[in-house]
């Protein structure tokens, strides 16, 4: 099977240049990129961005740059559209791809083992995607509230008089995506027409890969947490 790694990241962020801020002496995005470089399954490596500095940081570790159109690099742009755009260019060069490993440029808490585990699960389960996920019952959707027009709160998913247990252990099992990386089957996921929103490239047969969560970098404190995670897991390149 042909497996491709794709780093995605745009330059227009609230924290300026967050994808290339230094973590242990190298740009943040290179940690996930190098984790994929160590995979025994991945054949080719690409990076998609509108930002020249991000593309250059990817080139430094052997990733072929794909210039993302400006309309796919807005704060409102959808990541699924960026993945599909990049895949179309990759397949023009290399022919059909079977699996694409999408690495988010603002997450460094990724290991080669995690990536290879997810690829194996995708193959074994014939899944449309395998996504690192974590439990977060304090944010269970049945506990969520919506803000009404008068400023008061109401249950988001159930009527206010329907019973919902206050005990976390009584609630249905649920997970939240890490968004550190995605392992996607191209035919059943990226190119499917029945994918689950808001990330339709995942397809409709999604399996979780349970983790303790990740540090999706939004501020400088997240960079410090990322560095601590890398040191704890003894990840060096």
pTM of the predicted structure, to 2 decimals: 0.95
Among the listed ranges 8-17, 116-125, 175-184, which one has the minimum average pLDDT value? 8-17
3-132+176-232 CATH fold: Spore Coat Polysaccharide Biosynthesis Protein SpsA; Chain A (3.90.550)
Quick one: pLDDT at residue 155?
A: 95
- The count of residues in the chain is 237
Cβ–Cβ under 8 Å, residues 47 and 55: yes
Burial class (CB in 10 A: 0-12, 13-18, 19+), 76: exposed
Residue 184 has phi, psi (to 5 degrees) of -120, 130
- pLDDT tens digits, residue range 105-149? 999 999 999 999 999 999 999 999 999 999 998 899 999 999 999
Quick one: pLDDT at residue 50?
A: 96
Cβ–Cβ under 8 Å, residues 27 and 19: yes
Residue 222 has pLDDT above 90, yes or no: yes
Quick one: pLDDT at residue 14?
A: 83
Residue 126 φ/ψ region, left for φ over 0, alpha for ψ in the -120 to 50 degree band, beta for the rest = left
Residue 104 bridge partners (DSSP): 8
Binned at pLDDT 50, 70 and 90, residue 13 comes out as confident
| CA within 13 Å, CB half, 56 | 6
Residues of the chain with CATH 3.90.550.10: 3-132+176-232
CA distance 203 to 218: 27
Residue 165 has pLDDT above 90, yes or no: yes
Strands 26-27 and 22-23: antiparallel
Mean pLDDT, residues 196-200 taken together: 97
CA distance 75 to 64: 24
Among the listed ranges 23-32, 99-108, 143-152, 159-168, which one has the minimum average pLDDT value? 159-168
Q: Go through 136-145 and write b for each residue having 16 or more CB atoms within 10 A of its CB, e for each that does not.
A: eeeebebbee
Binned at pLDDT 50, 70 and 90, residue 12 comes out as confident
CA distance 135 to 211: 8
CA torsion sign for 156, 162, 168, 173 is negative
Angle at 178 between CA 177 and CA 184, to 5 degrees: 70
- Map 83-120 to HEC letters: HHHHHHHHHHHHCCCCEEEEEECCCCCCCHHHHHHHHH
């Amino acid at each position: 099977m042909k497996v491709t790694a794709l780093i995605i990241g745009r330059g227009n962020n609230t924290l300026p240049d967050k994808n290339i801020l230094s973590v242990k002496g190298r740009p943040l995005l290179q940690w996930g990129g190098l984790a994929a470089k160590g995979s025994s399954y991945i054949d080719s490596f690409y990076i998609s961005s509108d930002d020249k500095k991000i593309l250059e940081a990817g080139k430094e570790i052997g990733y072929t740059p794909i210039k993302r159109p400006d309309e796919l690099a807005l704060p409102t742009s959808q990541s699924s559209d960026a993945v599909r755009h990049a895949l179309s260019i990759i397949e023009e060069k290399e022919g059909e791809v079977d699996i694409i490993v999408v690495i988010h440029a603002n997450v460094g808490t990724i290991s080669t083992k995690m990536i290879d585990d997810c690829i194996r699960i995708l193959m074994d389960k014939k899944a449309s995607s395998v996504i690192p996920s974590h439990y977060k019952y304090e944010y269970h959707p049945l506990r969520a509230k919506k803000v009404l027009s008068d400023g008061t709160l109401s249950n988001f998913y159930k009527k206010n008089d329907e019973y919902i247990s206050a005990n976390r252990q009584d609630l249905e099992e649920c997970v939240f995506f890490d968004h550190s990386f995605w392992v996607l089957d191209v035919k059943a996921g990226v190119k499917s027409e029945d994918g689950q929103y808001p990330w339709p490239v995942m397809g409709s047969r999604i399996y979780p890969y349970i983790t303790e969560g990740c540090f999706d970098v939004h501020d400088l404190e997240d960079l410090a947490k990322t560095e601590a995670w890398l040191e704890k897991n003894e990840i060096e390149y």
